[in-house]
Amino acid sequence: MEKLQQKIHYQFKDISLLKLALTHRSMGKNNNERLEFLGDSVLGSVISRELFKRFVHVDEGKLSRLRSHLVRGQTLVQLAATLNLSDVLILGSGELKSGGYRRESIQADTVEAIFGAVFLDSDFDTVNTVILDLYQPMLDAINPNDSLKDPKTQLQEYLQKRGNTLPKYELVKTMGKDHNAVFVVGCTLQDQNIQVEQEAKSIKRAEQSCAQILLDKLKTL
């Protein structure tokens, strides 16, 4: 955890908050889901304010698309990779055996939980600095004139251009209840005979993860 604190340029006063942020629900009731809920809101506020300040002549619609691009699961997974989160995740034995430390949904959720933990351990200005430091390369590279289409739209357009059958998304199962629910979504490409499954805290995020994986697979065919 010391290396992780160095990478986010923040030293916790209460290290138990960071430990909790890294603890997956497979460890029991004392897990990072509440911190993830908080971190998701904090991240959205920080990114919204930064985009508002940076792009003063951009309308609300484009700002919303820019924000969605920056806070989506795939972007959080990229951040998780730079932080080597898979090395410090605290998982239950079953999740460890199934390779949960490699699961992108777990990594993305943990990034949000870390932001929530930093916010509780400090204040909004501090977590604002932590988030913007991590997001700096992506913020600098963003062009508000880019279409920034989400993976589902990109996949659909990719298949339409080639005259292929459109992807079929299906809710495979729901694990847990209410705010603790995790959705497993499958997506099938009939013409290519490819099927993938992804899990996430929302059906939309799971579908987007499936679409991104399929896009990557199609580019290698």
Which tens digit of pLDDT belongs to each residue from 86-140?
999 999 988 888 887 788 889 999 999 999 999 999 999 999 999 999 999 999 9
123 within 8 A of 129, measured Cβ to Cβ: no
For residue 202, pLDDT beyond 90: no
pLDDT score at 181: 85
Going by pLDDT thresholds of 50, 70 and 90, the confidence category of residue 178 is confident
Question: Token pair for residue 138?
Answer: 């992506």
Domain boundaries, the chain: 2-141, 151-220
Residue 74 has pLDDT above 90, yes or no: no
Given a cut of 90, whether residue 180 has pLDDT beyond it is no
Written in H, E and C, the secondary structure of 126-177 is: HHHHHHHHHHHHHHHHCCCCCCCCCHHHHHHHHHHHCCCCCCEEEEEEEECC
Average pLDDT, the chain: 92
Confidence grade of residue 147 (pLDDT, cut at 50, 70, 90)? low
CA 213 to CA 169: how far, in whole Å? Answer: 13
* Strand arrangement of the beta sheet that strand 194-200 belongs to: 168-175, 182-189, 194-200
Which three-class secondary structure state does DSSP give residue 64?
helix
Annotated active-site positions, please?
40, 112
What is the CATH code for 151-220?
3.30.160.20
Considering the four listed CATH numbers 2.60.40.420, 3.40.1360.10, 1.10.1520.10, 1.10.10.60, the one that applies to the domain covering 2-141 is 1.10.1520.10
State the DSSP H helix or E strand holding residue 198, giving kind and residue range, or none if neither: strand 194-200
CB 196 within 8 Å of CB 104: no
Same fold, 2-141 and 151-220: no
**pLDDT tens digit sequence for 54-67:** 999 999 988 998 99
Structure tokens at 146: 């880019």
Q: Among residues 80, 63, 58, 72, which one has the least CA distance to residue 153? A: 72
Tokens of 24: 């997956």
Confidence of residue 27 (pLDDT cuts 50, 70, 90): very high
The pTM score is: 0.79
